[in-house]
Structure 1
């Protein structure tokens, strides 16, 4: 079976054991190649991803599209520094991306800013078109992005500490989007953090696209979850038909890391 897509991890919380020359940070950035295009999914926090890309021989100048899973700093903060290496034509986001994000620090009774650090006006001044995904939006003939995830699993809840906007209201993460790559007769789903729940996301994609999800890849925000919660999630993913699970960043169980390359056929 011929290769359809290739995913290279430019930055993650950890470094692959075989790539000692690379560096890690709390963040995520993936370089995705399809038969039609090359694009980035998330940009990490500081721009370290672009230094790693150079060490790996990844040509960032080919990047014309950038997809940001949501506007937290560890996924979107590295975007402005990317402009030193390429000139993206389009930035893909979900709705309400520009509502500022915070996390409540109970110990110090304060709200900590967790947003991307740049604005819509900045993007306009850089000459980049923002494209907002409302449901399903194709990037090319092979790849789509999806948002607007429905709630199927009541136990997948968003921690109360995550709030947004000047009124610090609970953040529903309706800006969250994921990437869909072709895999055989089905799909690979690539996620940034899965704040809305990985099971909710997979169930929504299966229903909306009427296609099986064979693989999930990325962060599922269960690094502080109990073993019971993690086991239940893995069991339910299997029941939903997911055969391959490649986790990183905020997942609690990681088998992807900076320097990893995953091929999808």
Structure 2
């Protein structure tokens, strides 16, 4: 499997030709399929794709991890460049999504026009589904472990009711290959440990070749603070180290400070995935 980061918050030092944004988009190429996992907040991934030797029109299917703009609002650009691929996302009640901190409020949700205007291309998934041979979107994520502390700034608004975002709009992508699993987390608002635990439960005894995506360990993104304490992050790394995971590739909402703390614990098992990075798993 070949994984290319089309969009991340940062880029490879030697690829100044590539654009960045606070978002995530990954191109995944298996033996038989080309998959797009998340699409950032606009057309940046489309701009970067040809510079990385990727043709968006050749993508066979796409998956949206959750309904935050930095992962899904590029869908309008995707369907404009690709005429065939279905876009899979979790079915849930339509709500507004907001970031709130210290009196500041920002809309972080999906563009509602997208849900209406691209409806013939969208596939709303209610349960764990094999969307292609050995490609699984998993909707029921374990709650065994605590969710990221940075979630406390994220809310939903439904009619007149405001509440903390429970992330009932988040899903997990797992691709099964003959030599093991690759887990794609998006932002892992449900908790990267819960996502790994879910995959281990559904595919007992399988080697995990890689976990790829953001872990949402950032607190306030503007200040690159960590969600929780340094010890919380180190303990997370220790718990991850106990799972049968060969490699972890992360970026985006993990945050630079949390990444450094995880690196202390996980060492060479953990690597960054900036825009332009290509991984062979």
* TM-score between both structures, scaled by the size of structure 1: 0.89
CA displacement 1:176-230 (0-9 Å, x = unmatched): 1122123554211111100010001111111122234342111000122332222
The structure 2 residue matched to 1:163, chosen from 155, 158, 161, is 155
Q: Is the contact made by 2:89 and 2:122 (CA closer than 8 Å) also made in structure 1?
A: no
SS in 2 for 1:240: coil
Instruction: Provide the residue aligned with 2:246 in structure 1.
Output: 243
**Cα distance, 1:156 vs structure 2:** 4.5
Aligned-pair RMSD on alpha carbons? 1.9
SS in 1 for 2:71: helix
* TM-score between both structures, scaled by the size of structure 2: 0.84
Question: In structure 2, how many angstroms separate the alpha carbons of the residues matched to 1:97 and 1:7?
Answer: 32
| Residue segments in structure 2 that go unaligned for 5+ positions in a row | 219-225, 260-270
SS in 2 for 1:196: coil
Q: Is the contact made by 1:36 and 1:142 (CA closer than 8 Å) also made in structure 2?
A: no
**Cα distance, 1:97 vs structure 2:** 6.6
**Cα distance, 1:104 vs structure 2:** 1.6
Question: In structure 2, how many angstroms separate the alpha carbons of the residues matched to 1:47 and 1:130?
Answer: 21
Q: Is the contact made by 2:73 and 2:111 (CA closer than 8 Å) also made in structure 1?
A: yes
**Cα distance, 1:133 vs structure 2:** 4.5
Aligned length: 255
Question: In structure 1, how many angstroms separate the alpha carbons of the residues matched to 2:62 and 2:135?
Answer: 13
Pairing 1:205–2:222 present: no
Select between 25-34 and 166-175 the one with higher mean Cα deviation: 166-175
Select between 112-121 and 73-82 the one with higher mean Cα deviation: 112-121
The structure 2 residue matched to 1:229, chosen from 226, 232, 243, is 232
The structure 1 residue matched to 2:72, chosen from 65, 76, 91, is 76
Instruction: Provide the residue aligned with 1:116 in structure 2.
Output: 110
Instruction: Provide the residue aligned with 2:167 in structure 1.
Output: 173
Judging changes above 3 Å, is the alpha-carbon distance between structure 1 residues 181 and 97 closer, same or farther for their aligned structure 2 residues? farther
Pairing 1:218–2:213 present: yes
Q: Is the contact made by 2:147 and 2:190 (CA closer than 8 Å) also made in structure 1?
A: no
SS in 2 for 1:258: coil
| Residue segments in structure 1 that go unaligned for 5+ positions in a row | none
Could you list the structure 1 runs, at least 4 aligned residues long, displaced by more than 4 angstroms after superposition: 155-158
Question: In structure 2, how many angstroms separate the alpha carbons of the residues matched to 1:156 and 1:251?
Answer: 10
